[in-house]
Amino acid sequence: MDRSPLGFDQSFPGAADDFSALLRRKGLLSSAVIGPMTRDGTQPRTWQPTEATTILAFKFSGGVLVAGDRRATAGNTVVYDRADKVLEIDRHSIMAIAGVPATAWEMARVLEHSLQYFRRTQLQEMSVDGKVRALSKLLRDNFGFVMQGVGVVVPIFATYDGNSKPEARLYFYDAMGAQFEATDYAATGSGSPAVRGILYYENNWGVKPLHELGEEEAVSIALRALDTAAESDTATAGVDRAGKIYPVIKIVSREGITTLPESKIAAVFKEMVA
């Protein structure tokens, strides 16, 4: 049996080019989850993890607005249409989730407890940099599941920094835990390309830049962005007009976190969007 210097079986077609196939043959990657191709080139029916998309956040005159649609899917099946993807971590921090809800919700619980423990033992709030790195570490620790295709989470983290220079802070991450601070807006999930396009347009050529918007104007843009994403992405719900289901929208500001009531979101949608 011919082998390459790295130990690849050269008699196996494409072995040197397909690392995931090598891991499956060695029993290090679950074929039941990844779903390898059969000999006739077809994809066998496999279990699909539940996933949640789409989320967005941007800075406006009142702080940071964070919004998420309500749909959770498994493949092409709608599992749930009232999922909460915008989670409160502490009095001034929000984690919005895109990806596998089971993993993301557990990360949110661990992060919330970590911040509580720090606050009670150190008698002070953890710094913003500490919070950001704590979430990054949770994502890095989860990378083994990401490689197996069962636990991908790509969150957004919004908080208010009340230290020497009070300001709203906004971060987005990749699945490996790298964090990036956003100056104006962020969006992740399957519908994020459409959302980012709308936010870019509004920020550069809209009536006002995003950071100058009032609360109702900011809510209307968030609703328009999610509704537009839903037109081209079946995993994004947008606004369900028939079921009267609206996205979850929260605002992070100096005063803390405000959850907008559904009645207010519906009124803005009716007056400024629909």
Structure confidence at residue 49 (pLDDT): 72
CA nearest to 85, candidates 153, 37, 9, 11:
153
Spatial contact of 34 and 24, defined as CB atoms under 8 Å apart: yes
Residue 271 identity? E
| pLDDT given at position 107 | 95
* pLDDT higher than threshold 50 for residue 10: no
pLDDT of residue 82: 93
Dihedral sign, Cα of residue 237, residue 206, residue 97, residue 189: positive
The residue behind tokens 């072995």 is 15
Report CA 227 to chain centroid distance, whole Å. 17
Per-residue pLDDT, averaged over 164-180, amounts to 91
Q: Which of 53, 73, 188, 236 is catalytic?
A: 53
CATH no. of 51-273: 3.60.20.10
Question: CA–CA separation, 246 vs 235, rounded Å?
Answer: 15
More confident site: 17 or 267? 267
Q: Which carries the bigger pLDDT value, residue 38 or residue 64?
A: 64
Give yes or no: 159 in active site.
Answer: no
Q: What sections of 59-127 are H helices per DSSP?
A: 101-122
Q: 104 - beta bridge partners?
A: none
Q: Please write the tens of the pLDDT for every residue from 99-123.
A: 999 999 999 999 999 999 999 999 9
DSSP state of 234: T
pLDDT tens digits along 219-257 = 999 999 999 999 999 999 999 999 999 999 999 999 999
Average pLDDT in the chain = 86
**Domain locations in the chain as residue ranges:** 51-273
> Reduced to 3 states, what is the DSSP secondary structure of residue 172?
strand
3-state helix, strand, coil in the chain (%, to 5): 35, 25, 40
Residue 44 DSSP symbol: P
